[in-house]
Amino acid sequence: MKKIALLFPGQGSQSIGMGQDYYQEYDVVRELFDMTEEITRINISRLCFKGPMEDLTMTVNLQPAVTAVNLACLAMLERENIEYHYCAGHSLGEYSALAAAGASTKENTIRQVHKRGKLMHREASKHRGAMHAIVGLPINEVSALVADIQEEGIVSVANHNTELQIVITGDPDTVERVSALATAKGAKSIQLKVSGAWHSELIRGAEDDFKAYLEPMPFNTPKKTLFFNVTADSSDNPEEIKEIMIRQLCSPVRWYDTMCKLMEENVDVFVEVGPGRVLAGLLKKTLPKNYAGKIYNVSNMKQLETFLRDCS
């Protein structure tokens, strides 16, 4: 049997029209969107299908919107009785992975990301932030540049996406200074279109409130192997999982290390379950040329048909 890993995208993967063909065709998807709208009191289907992009990309809207589409794509795989073995999600996408692994219910997953989005929006409104992708330097060099500048302001590593793609986060001036140092060392710096300094001390104010919100929520023992952003490792302890998810807000996303772990597990098939191709693109830069694993997206019916045909 092929080893299959489901990978769930987060913020940055959104597009107008995401999830619409599944929504039009399947009751289970319409029910997921209805549930999301009932919990959030946001017209998620209108935002996903018609936008405008400016409203969709507001983190308070985007987090439940992307999660609803992720769960819709997951529902399509469940409908086809696809047997998968590993789950992981990038930042926001980690909540969808919790649901896929059975560690959280889909209802609670929507509640969690809705609260998370509101708290992150609150902190971003208080503290102006920026995020830049540094391309061309390894993690140890970027971390050293960050350490050299940290006394001047708030800056840290947000995401280690591939071996040579690292996202930094913090206050705009300090992030800009680190970017300039990286550029001087031959790297490329790309300013990301974000509304806050995610995974940084600038949103630390959200942590206690999010912890209080998660405390009464039940988490379950995962039925699949679930890898986490904070540790780049698995856990099957519900209380440890809850603690990890609280830490995730301000901790770096160790995505590259997580993909390396999945390769160590000899995963045969990687499936990006949600909108866009961001994670597939990162994975293509990570898998060695001689690695036999295949990468699929299932964000629409045509992609799903291709996956089902190849993996049948």
Q: Which residues are identified as catalytic?
A: 91, 199
- Count of residues for the chain? 312
Are the CB atoms for 33 and 309 separated by under 8 Å? no
Q: Which residues contact 282 (CB under 8 A, 6 or more apart)?
A: 161, 162, 165, 255, 259
Distance in Å from the first CA to the final CA of the chain? 11
Nearest to 244 by CA among 230, 233, 260, 256: 230
Q: What letter represents residue 247's amino acid?
A: R
Cα separation, 68 vs 72, whole angstroms: 6
Q: How far is CA 234 from the centre of its chain?
A: 16
By DSSP bridging, strand 155-162 and strand 165-170 are: antiparallel
Cα separation, 119 vs 115, whole angstroms: 6
Are the CB atoms for 253 and 158 separated by under 8 Å? yes
Cα separation, 63 vs 214, whole angstroms: 16
Cα separation, 84 vs 2, whole angstroms: 9
Three-state DSSP state, 253? strand
Nearest to 5 by CA among 279, 278, 302: 279
